[in-house]
Amino acid sequence: MERNLSLNLHVLTARLDRAADRILRAEHDISYSRFLALTLVGELGASTQRDLANRLGVTEPSVSRMTSVLAADGLLDVQPEAAGGHRRRLSLTDKGKRLVTSIRQDFEDRLATLVEDSGVPYDEYAEHTARLLATFDRWEKEAGK
pLDDT digits (tens, 9 = 90+) for 83-141: 766 778 899 999 999 999 999 988 889 888 988 999 999 999 999 999 998 998 899 88
Strand, coil or helix: what is 89?
strand
pLDDT digits (tens, 9 = 90+) for 38-47: 999 998 776 8
- For the chain, list the domains and their CATH numbers: 31-143 (1.10.10.10)
Q: How far is CA 38 from CA 34, 63, 94, 97, 141, in A?
A: 6, 11, 12, 8, 25
